[in-house]
Amino acid sequence: MIDGFRRVVRRLAASVTASALACGAAAVAPAASAAETAECQVRPAEQHRDWTGMDFTGDLWCELQPGFVRIQSRSTSPVVGRMLYSPSWFVCWKRGSDYLGSDVWYYTQGDQVLTRPVTKAWGYMPAVAVKAPAPEATGLAKCPWS
């Protein structure tokens, strides 16, 4: 059942990407190794509201390494959620603690709530888990509280 869901998500992502490109949206190729040739898609019209009621317009749709979402942009911060599926979206980025050579963290909503249900799995993923170029090159906004 999960494999079927993943296929549907991937087909939908391909359709959204193709539609966005046809409408002139910018695709961003990541600075990745030869083994990683993923692309990210800027989606300027996507709307999101986080658990605090803050609204975001626009996101970055990227492949990622499924993993934990933390409440703050620190590797020692409590885990609030988990990303189960790839690709996914990110609404902004900020600098935080160093994690495997990068201090960039992306703000998103996890697929699964693990702790602190009030947060609805909103938090940060380290940049090393997101297959994207440097955040300045993506056009994704810096988080307003950075």
143 is a domain residue = no
In the chain, pLDDT over 90 holds for what percent of residues?
A: 69
CA distance 101 to 125: 14
For residues 125 and 3, which has the higher predicted lDDT (pLDDT)?
A: 125
Tens digit of each residue's pLDDT (9 = 90 or more) over 40-74: 999 999 999 999 999 999 999 999 999 999 999 99
31 is a domain residue = yes
* Residue 92 domain boundaries: 2-138
pTM of the shown model? 0.74
82's CB contacts (< 8 A; 6+ apart) are 66, 67, 68, 69, 110, 111, 112, 114, 121
Q: In the prediction, which pLDDT does 38 show?
A: 58
146 is a domain residue = no
The answer to whether 76 and 50 are in contact (CB under 8 A) is: no
144 is a domain residue = no
The domain tally of the chain equals 1
The answer to whether 134 and 101 are in contact (CB under 8 A) is: no
CA distance 40 to 63: 7
145 is a domain residue = no
109's CB contacts (< 8 A; 6+ apart) are 48, 50, 69, 81, 120, 121, 122
Tens digit of each residue's pLDDT (9 = 90 or more) over 95-132: 999 999 999 999 999 999 999 999 999 999 999 999 99
